[in-house]
Amino acid sequence: MTMLDETHDPALRSWVESANDAGTDFPIQNLPFGRFRRAGSGEDFRVGVAIGDQVLDLRAAGLLDDADLKPLMASGPARRRDLRARLSAALREGSAQRDALAKCLVPQAQAEMAVPCTIGDYTDFYTGIHHATAVGKLFRPDNPLLPNYEWVPIGYHGRSSSIVPSGTPVRRPRGQTQPPGAAQPVFGPCQRLDYEVELGFFIGTGNAMGQPVSIDDAEEHLFGVTLFNDWSARDIQAWEYQPLGPFLSKNFGSTISPWVVTLEALAPFRAPLKRPAGHPDPLPHLDSKATRESGSLDIRLETWIQTEAMRKAGQPAVRLATSNAADAAFWTPAQLVAHHTCGGCNLQPGDLFGSGTLSGPSQEQSGSLLELTKGGKEKVKLPNGEERSFLQDGDALELRGVCERPRARRIGFGACAGMIVG
């Protein structure tokens, strides 16, 4: 597990004044990596670091001359930690590098963000036990969790080409559905479009084919964490998912927050693995003392919606639900790495894992409309009088993630936002 060091000191301040604001997601204690260029410039994308409301251009600063994060991911955790330490020293108050680096800052408002790296493979897991239980009850009231859930991290292979950065519009998908009582399916636009609140875990160093990664070494293969919205076409999913799982219901678009918060930045926000009473311990290859004591991440997750009518009326987004990853996840990121490789699968730098929907135990902590509306039966009432069972065209969703604890500096992930278009 990553240890605390001077970069986590909550008293540290930056010469970038906006990084000292109490409400910023990006104080000097965070320093997440992303891929950007100046909006409208046509420049090549390059790697930057978020600091307050600015982006430090690492190419201009002479610190990293890569087009995306994959080379840094592949180089291993020691190089990443060294770069983080150097950035922390260079950006803090009193740094001799202030004048030189100030010329390398770009306002985030003027930056066009991209997916952090070329994503080779994407696996979506199902770690949220409260989500799995709530959804299972909709279809199997007497047996919501299948027997394998408490023994093995469930996942499926997703489509990496349709993962897009925050702010990219998401087009309503079309596909086959089976209307109730109909003799055959019909083809048309999705009528039960949903969101899913997830975390994304980026792989750093890979492993050779046939060489499993042990649970004790698994975190050394993780680079960092993002917010992830796995948009879902529930009606298409219901028709297609048996016997091989989701396909068109998941491959039309997934939104990722553009900033990758490193494991080092998350060190003050580790939490024990919490499992509901009555569940067995994992098998030995998925179990360790470190995983039990601090394998989870204490991240508050929020979902906000602004409908087209709200936008036209000048009304701000409203919060739909909130949950915490540490309370929601049945499996830790390290367990996902150990499981994914236990049969010999070779992970590669830049591979992405989705956590699965991270809902809390109560309905107001739901990470999807499927849960929040109990399968569409109970509509959500918005302050302006509108109601929602599922998403309509013009609805804009934003996921937010924040880490807050006593004696630690608040950090965040930035926006993970997208608008539904017809």
Which residues are annotated as part of the binding site for Ca(2+)?
124, 196, 198, 230
CA distance 204 to 198: 19
CA distance 171 to 8: 41
Would you put residue 396 in left (φ > 0), alpha (ψ -120 to 50) or beta?
beta
Q: Which of 8, 130, 131, 339 is catalytic?
A: 131
Q: Which residue has the tokens 């997703």?
A: 158
Binding residues for substrate: 126, 140, 237, 241, 357
Does the annotation count 131 as an active-site position?
A: yes
Q: Which residues pair with 255 in a beta bridge?
A: 164, 229
Q: Which residues pair with 381 in a beta bridge?
A: 387
Q: Which residue has the tokens 């997440």?
A: 32
Binding residues: 124, 126, 140, 196, 198, 230, 237, 241, 250, 254, 357
Structure-token pair, residue 217: 């070494």
The full length of the chain comes to 422
Which of 100, 114, 99 lies closest to 43, judged by CA?
A: 114
Write the DSSP assignment of 192-203 as a string of letters. Answer: SEE--EEEEEEE
Q: What is the dihedral of CA 125, 333, 27, 410, to 10 degrees?
A: 90
Residue 26, Cα to own-chain centre: how many angstroms? 16
From the CB of residue 380, how many other CB atoms can be counted at a distance below 10 Å?
17
Contacts of 204 (CB under 8 A, 6+ apart): 73, 74, 76, 77, 80, 220, 221, 222, 223, 349
Active site residues: 131
